[in-house]
A and B are shown apart, each in its own frame.
Chain A
Amino acid sequence: MSDHGRDDLASALRQLAKRAEVPPLDPDRERALLEAFDATQQQKRAPAARAGVWRPAAAAALLALAATMAWVIVGRSVRPPAAPVAPLTTSEFVLWPGAAELPTFESGHLMRMEVPVSALPSLGLVPPATHAAVVQADVLVGQDGLPRAVRLSPDF
């Protein structure tokens, strides 16, 4: 190729590059990515949290066993106070039960579905103050079709 031809080609390619239109930022796509980011961070923290609590949990189990033994031996009835339950923010995603064991989340999509209020506690969600039997929830489904995280829809 001559210098003249090379210059023309370079110039033409630059024009082609300039004409490549990029669609404007899509807020929905950005929001989906940020939600995936949040869910992934939550998933990453979960194993660390589990690793951090198993030893205290084992110690607590041993203590509970010792207390039970003492109760049986001494014959005293001691009812431990109910553990306080930390309220959850209903608008945030919580890890789907068992999702921490699933393959790493790589891609996915959000599905909005109706969930019985009675099933919310088993998902780690606090039932809202409503008389409705079902509420709407957003489920983050991974690349394998398995759920990774769930939240109450903002407009449940």
Chain B
Amino acid sequence: MDELSLIHGCIEGNQRAQRKLFDSFSPKFFAVCLRYMKNNDEAEDVLQDAMIKVFSKLPEYSKKGSFEGWMRRIVVNTCLDQIRKNQKLKFDAPLEQEEYKLSTNAYIFEKLSADELIKEIQEMPPGYRVVFNMFAIEGFSHQEIAEHLGVAESTSKSQYLRARAYLKERILKIDER
């Protein structure tokens, strides 16, 4: 079943097609939700909402551009909505630029598993977490992030730099354990 007929099947309410779409993409999107939300339960709740949104918005999918990308945007937006609902996103006021010189050795990186990285992301304050995810992993520009979140572009930049410094330090700590 190719992508288009899968989409069609889902729109027509074919349960098998829906199941297949869910099974094919939910592991990817669950990983996304895990990065944005602070624990498994929240991530599953959001994934559920997001997938329901995906199915209900399928008829609106223009069939141009990446289907997965389209769905992923829905998932990310659902995460952002939920975070907004949970609490007002608090961004620290930008301080003077801190400069860290924590050398980052390849071998530290090598042994870090994706799960450990997710855990580190989850432990960050929500402001760091959202901006870091959007910039570093989803690849949004700071301008796009600023528009998405309704903050200044400089806020996005400073949040990102702080998140990065934070993660760097955390990673070194992992290494010392």
A and B are interacting partners: no
Interface residues of B (CB under 8 A from A): none
Interface residues of A (CB under 8 A from B): none
